[in-house]
Amino acid sequence: MYRAYETSFRNQTLTLKEKFFNISFSYVMFIVILAAIGIVTLYSAANGHWSPWAINQLLRFAMGFVIMIALALTDIKLLMRYAYVFYFLTLILLIVVEVTGHIGMGAQRWINLGFFKLQPSELMKIAMVLVLARYFHTSSLQSIESIKGIIPPLLMALFPAFLIVMQPDLGTSLMLIFTTAGIFFAVGVQLWKFGVLALGALIMMPIAWHFLHEYQQNRVLTFLNPERDPLGAGYHIIQSKIALGSGGVFGKGFLKGTQSHLNFLPEKHTDFIFTMLSEEFGMVGGIAIVILNVLILAYTYSFAFKSSSYFGKLVAIGLATNYFMYVFINIAMVLGLLPVVGIPLPLISYGGTVMLSIMASFGIILSVHINRNVQIGKD
Amino acid sequence: MNRDNDKGKVLIFRSLIMAFGKLVLMFVIIGRLYYLQVYQADRYKTLADENRISTRLLIPPRGVIYDRNQVQIATNKQNFQALIVAEQTPNVQETLDAFKKIMPLSDAEEEKIKKDLKRNRSFVPIKIKDNLTWEEVSRIQLHASDLPGIIIDEGLSRYYPFGEKMAHVLGYVSSVSDKDVKDDPLLEVPGFKIGKSGIEKLFEKDLRGQGGNLKLEVNAYGRIMKEIERNDGIPGKRKDLTIDSRLQEKAFDLFGEESGAAVLLDVHTGEILAFVSAPSFDSNILAQGLNNEEWKALTGNMKKPLSNKAVSGLYSPGSTFKMIVALAGLEAGVIKPDTRSFCAGKMFLGNHAFHCWKKVGHGYLNVVEALQHSCDIFFYETAQKLGIEKIAEMARRFGLGSKINIGLDNEKDGLIPDKEWKLKRFGEPWQQGESLISGIGQGYILTTPLQLATMTARLVNGGYEVKPTFTKLSDDELQNINKINVSKEYLDIIKEGMFAVVNKPGGTAYLSQFDYKGQRMGGKTGTTQVRRISMKERQTGILKESELPWHLRNHALFVGYAPHDNPKYAVAVLVEHGGGGSSVAAPIAGKILRAAIELDPTKEEIK
> What pLDDT digit, counting tens, does each position of A243-284 carry?
999 999 999 999 988 888 888 888 888 889 999 999 999 999
How far is Cα B56 from Cα B149, in angstroms, rounded to an integer? 17
Residue A245's contacts (CB-CB under 8 Å, 6 or more residues apart) are: B36, B37, B40, B41, B43, B44, B45, B47, B48
Q: Do A182 and B18 touch (CB under 8 A)?
A: yes
Q: Do A141 and B4 touch (CB under 8 A)?
A: yes
Distance in Å, alpha carbon of B94 to nearest chain A alpha carbon: 20
Distance in Å, alpha carbon of B6 to nearest chain A alpha carbon: 8
- Write down the pLDDT at residue A8: 42
Question: Which of B19, B26, B37 minimises the CB distance to A282?
Answer: B37
Contact B543, B596 (CB under 8 A): no
pLDDT-derived band at A229 (thresholds 50, 70, 90) equals low
- Write down the pLDDT at residue B249: 95
Cis bond before residue B563 (omega within 30° of 0): yes
Question: Which of B22, B44, B48 minimises the CB distance to A297?
Answer: B22
Q: Do A141 and B10 touch (CB under 8 A)?
A: yes
Q: Do A262 and B38 touch (CB under 8 A)?
A: no
Q: Do A294 and B6 touch (CB under 8 A)?
A: no
How far is Cα A245 from Cα A265, in angstroms, rounded to an integer? 13
The amino acid at A308: S
Distance in Å, alpha carbon of A117 to nearest chain B alpha carbon: 31
Could you say which residues of chain B have pLDDT below 70? 1-4, 121, 123, 222, 532-538, 541-543, 545, 603-607
Cβ neighbours of B289 (radius 10 Å):
15
Distance in Å, alpha carbon of B225 to nearest chain A alpha carbon: 8
Q: Do B22 and A324 touch (CB under 8 A)?
A: yes
Cβ neighbours of A124 (radius 10 Å):
26
Nearest CA in chain A to B35: A245
Chain B CB contacts of A258 under 8 Å are: 48, 51-52, 217
CA distances from A297 to A283, A304, B333 (A): 21, 10, 120
**B65-66 and B239-240: which strand pairing?**
parallel
Chain A CB contacts of B225 under 8 Å are: 262
Number of structural domains in chain A: 1
* Range(s) of the domain holding residue A24: 14-370
The answer on pLDDT for A225 being more than 80 is no
How far is Cα A172 from Cα B59, in angstroms, rounded to an integer? 55
Which value does ipTM take for this structure?
0.91
Stretch A298-318: mean pLDDT, rounded? 95
Distance in Å, alpha carbon of B119 to nearest chain A alpha carbon: 19
- Write down the pLDDT at residue A1: 44
The pTM is what?
0.70
Cβ neighbours of A12 (radius 10 Å):
10
Nearest CA in chain A to B33: A283
Q: Do A262 and B37 touch (CB under 8 A)?
A: no
Residue B172's contacts (CB-CB under 8 Å, 6 or more residues apart) are: B158, B160, B195, B196, B197, B198, B200, B283, B284, B286, B287
Contact B495, B521 (CB under 8 A): no
Residues in chain B: 607
Cα B11 from chain centroid? 94
Active-site residues of B, by number, are 319
Chain B CB contacts of A188 under 8 Å are: 7, 10-11, 14
How far is Cα B446 from Cα B309, in angstroms, rounded to an integer? 13
Classify residue A173: in a domain, yes or no.
Answer: yes
Distance in Å, alpha carbon of B125 to nearest chain A alpha carbon: 20
What would the DSSP string read from start to end of A170-212?
Answer: HHHHHHHHHHHHHHHHHHT--HHHHHHHHHHHHHHHHHHHHHS
Q: Do B14 and A186 touch (CB under 8 A)?
A: yes
The answer on pLDDT for A5 being more than 50 is no
Nearest CA in chain B to A250: B37
Nearest CA in chain A to B32: A335
The answer on pLDDT for A101 being more than 70 is no
B22-45: b or e for each residue (b if 16 or more CB lie within 10 Å)?
beeebeebbebbbebbeebbeebb
- Write down the pLDDT at residue A105: 45
The three-state DSSP-derived secondary structure of B122-133 is: CCCEEEEEEEEC
How far is Cα B76 from Cα B157, in angstroms, rounded to an integer? 5
Instruction: Please give the residue that has the higher pLDDT: either A202 or B493.
Output: B493
The amino acid at A68: M
| Architecture of the domain made up of B55-240 | Alpha-Beta Complex (3.90)
- Tally C-beta pairs within 8 A across A and B: 140
Nearest CA in chain A to B7: A141
Q: Do B3 and A140 touch (CB under 8 A)?
A: yes
How far is Cα B117 from Cα B124, in angstroms, rounded to an integer? 8
CA B249, B254, B257 angle in degrees (round to 5)? 110
What would the DSSP string read from start to end of A118-139?
Answer: E-HHHHHHHHHHHHHHHHHHHS
Whose CA is closest to B49, among A264, A14, A142? Answer: A264
The answer on pLDDT for A368 being more than 70 is yes
- Phi/psi for B74 (5° steps) reads -145, 125
Which helix H or strand E contains B390, and what residues bound it? helix B388-397
Q: Do B48 and A242 touch (CB under 8 A)?
A: yes
Nearest CA in chain B to A324: B22
Classify residue A108: in a domain, yes or no.
Answer: yes
CA B25, B29, B35 angle in degrees (round to 5)? 135
Chain B CB contacts of A187 under 8 Å are: 7, 10-11, 14
- Write down the pLDDT at residue B530: 78
How far is Cα B176 from Cα B178, in angstroms, rounded to an integer? 7
Contact B139, B152 (CB under 8 A): no
In chain B, which segments carry CATH 3.90.1310.10?
A: 55-240
- Write down the pLDDT at residue B368: 94
Chain B CB contacts of A317 under 8 Å are: 11, 15, 18
How far is Cα A148 from Cα A131, in angstroms, rounded to an integer? 18
Residue B16's contacts (CB-CB under 8 Å, 6 or more residues apart) are: none
Q: Do A187 and B40 touch (CB under 8 A)?
A: no
Mutation target to probe the A interface, by most A beta carbons within 10 A, among B3, B22, B30, B87 is B22
Chain A CB contacts of B18 under 8 Å are: 182, 185-186, 317, 321
Classify residue A319: in a domain, yes or no.
Answer: yes
Instruction: Please give the residue that has the higher pLDDT: either B338 or A99.
Output: B338
For domain B245-280+306-606, give the CATH number.
3.40.710.10
In chain B, which segments carry CATH 3.40.710.10?
A: 245-280+306-606
Classify residue A378: in a domain, yes or no.
Answer: no
